[in-house]
Structures are given as structure tokens and as C-alpha cells.
Structure 1
Amino acid sequence: MIIFGTKGYLYQLAILTLVCGRCGNPSAHTLRKRVTKFTLFFVPLFPFSTKYATQCTFCGAEQQVTKEQAEQLQAQDAGGQGGGLGGPGGQAYGQAQQPPYPRP
């Protein structure tokens, strides 16, 4: 008897301040990576699916992003740069926002 299946892993890569494309509020968005791995006898062997998404913490809307967009957002978060994220259809899903108050 051979026991096989899948197991999902969820990694939080960054927390970014973006303008939500659904509710229009500038709020924190989590950038997440979801990896599904093939398991044999409950031992994860290799990944066969990797997906990236951002989720608005205000309204809960989730937007799938490509690997390149996720890497760009991570670099933006690490560098503290401004910029945007192009969503499907050429419409901007969200853009980086600077806080309205000066940083100390």
C-alpha cells in the first residue's frame, strides 16, 4: 500500500501599504506565497504549485499576482521605494503610499 497526497504551506513575505483596488482605502496588504507539495507517506517531497497573492487587511479582498510582481513588491518593501503594481487589464491594483505624517 502506497500513501500519497498533497500538503499546503503558506508563507507571509511582506506587509505593504497599498491602496486597495476594491475598497479604495490605503491599508496594509499582506504579500503571501502559497506552496503545494506532493507527499509520499506523509513526507513532503517536492513542490508542484506556487502561487502569490496580496490581501487587503481592511476589506479582505485578495488579488493574485505573478512571481515577478511579488519579487518587485518585496524589493520595494525592502528598499522603502515608491511604485505601483500593475493588475490585470492594465489597471493599477494598488500603489505604495507614504504615511501622511513625517517620520522621526
Structure 2
Amino acid sequence: MFLIFGLRTRVTRSAVVQQVCRHCGHQAAQVLTRRSTKFSLFFIPLIPVRTRHIQQCTFCAAEYPVDRAEAEHLMAA
């Protein structure tokens, strides 16, 4: 009997907001993405392992993590 298991990460774009970049200091569009990693068994995602929110500047392409509360605030705005 074979067991096929692993981790699968799914990336979804949550929002695009205009903000000043923390890295370069320019006013530019910031893309907020959600990366959720799930444990999968026989190619079926079952158990969520980790969820991260990442904000990326479209001017300098710098990425930095955003906590959940700030991500929800940015999506509501």
C-alpha cells in the first residue's frame, strides 16, 4: 500500500491598496496576498498548517509579512 502525502501552498491575491512603501518610501500600489499551506493526503488538502499574509510593493518589489489584524484592516479599506 502506498501513502502519498505532502504540503501544498496556495497563493491568493486579497487586495491592492495605495500606500507608502516601508522599504523604498514611494507612494505605490501594495499587493496583499495570502499564502495558506495545507497538509494533503492523496492530493486532497486536508489540514491547514500555516497561513501568512504578505504585502509586496509594485515599485521596488520588496515583500514583507503583515499580521492578520493589519491584513483584515487593509482588505476592509
The structure with the larger Rg is 1
After TM superposition, the score normalised by the length of structure 1 is 0.71
**Bigger RCO of structures 1 and 2 (CA < 8 A, at least 6 apart):** 2
1:33-52 matched pairs, under 5 angstroms:
33-52=34-53
Identity %: 43
After TM superposition, the score normalised by the length of structure 2 is 0.94
Structure 1: which amino acid aligns with 2:64?
Q
> How many residue pairs align between the two structures?
76
Q: Structure 1 stretches (4+) deviating beyond 4 angstroms?
A: none
Q: CA deviation at 1:63?
A: 1.3
| Higher strand residue share | 2
Partner of 1:25: 26
- Gap runs ≥5 in structure 1: 77-104
Query: Considering only aligned residues, what root-mean-square deviation do their CA atoms show, in Å?
Result: 0.7
